[in-house]
Amino acid sequence: MRTKITKEQRGFDLKKLILSRYPSLPENQRKAADFLLQHLHDAPFFSIIEIEKRSGTSKATIVRLSQNLGYTGFQELRAKLMEGVQSAIQLAEKFPLLETADYKEALSIVAHQDVKNINQTINHIDRRTFDDVARMILRARHVYTLGLGISSLMSQILAYSLNQVAVRATAFVHDYETFLEQLAFVTPSDLVCAFSFPPYSKETLNLVATAKKKRIPVIGITDRLTAPITFYSKKSLAIRSQNVLFTNSFSAISVVINALVTEVAMRNKNKAMKMSKEIDQLLTDSGYYATE
């Protein structure tokens, strides 16, 4: 039996509604929910048949999902999606798509996909969550970053960049110590920024689950708002990482890291500028830079 939607709930953010019901949804309805979350701006223009094909589910599943979200059926859900599109404010211009590119060669194919990832990330990322993450980084005694595979590289870039703007940050290194052993030194006054992209690592998930038990705040940086890591995270940033190959693309991830560090620096301008000058002076005095 579906739950009746109240007048107040009709004005509720649909993305938040889907996320709040997501843990209790059956697996096939989760697939349809994932599709809607990733296409909030496009889904209102799809028929139920198109969503069925694109999500790999069935019309019956989409109808049951709509009812589990509190609507009479798909048509009422689509009306809500359309309402969201009509009231959406575009906060940033889209990057120009490479419409004239020759898609038979790798450079154009990859560039087109990366531009698409960046566009979708910019248009869908929640600005309030982004701001909250910046504030959490600034409040933390120490920021720890981690990930495996490409996520390891991204976590190291985030830690390095934060140090450059006067935020103490350390990347967990998967070497002679496990992530859990390194977590032993982290306290609730610190912050963990965990990168988790498909295929999701069990070790990363075990760490953030343990961190949550220890009341250590976790920021999840992943590809979708229903990825496993989000259920252990205080805040989550969803970044598109689709790639032509089987690996994850890091173009949009790099953009978000750069934007996040820039936001932190702007909120902490004096300290960041002082740190930048001190580092530059130390490197200059030590003869670190090459001279002509």
Q: Which amino acid belongs to residue 118?
A: I
- Residue percentage of the chain with pLDDT more than 90: 48
CA–CA gap between residue 154 and residue 248 (Å, rounded): 11
Least Cα distance to 39 among 31, 280, 150 occurs for 31
CA–CA gap between residue 177 and residue 67 (Å, rounded): 48
Least Cα distance to 132 among 223, 87, 193, 198 occurs for 193
Which domains are seen in the chain, by residue range? 7-87 (1.10.10.10), 123-283 (3.40.50.10490)
Tell me the mean pLDDT in the region 96-101: 44
pLDDT in tens, 23-67: 999 999 999 999 888 887 777 777 888 889 888 999 999 999 999
Contact 196, 220 (CB under 8 A): yes
CA–CA gap between residue 201 and residue 39 (Å, rounded): 26
Burial of 276 (0-12, 13-18, 19+ CB in 10 A): middle
When pLDDT is cut at 50, 70 and 90, the band that residue 292 belongs to is low
pLDDT in tens, 236-274: 999 998 887 767 888 999 999 999 999 999 998 887 788
Residue given tokens 């019956």 in the structure block: 60
CA–CA gap between residue 24 and residue 15 (Å, rounded): 15
Considering the entire predicted model, what is its pTM?
A: 0.72
pLDDT in tens, 147-163: 998 899 999 999 999 99
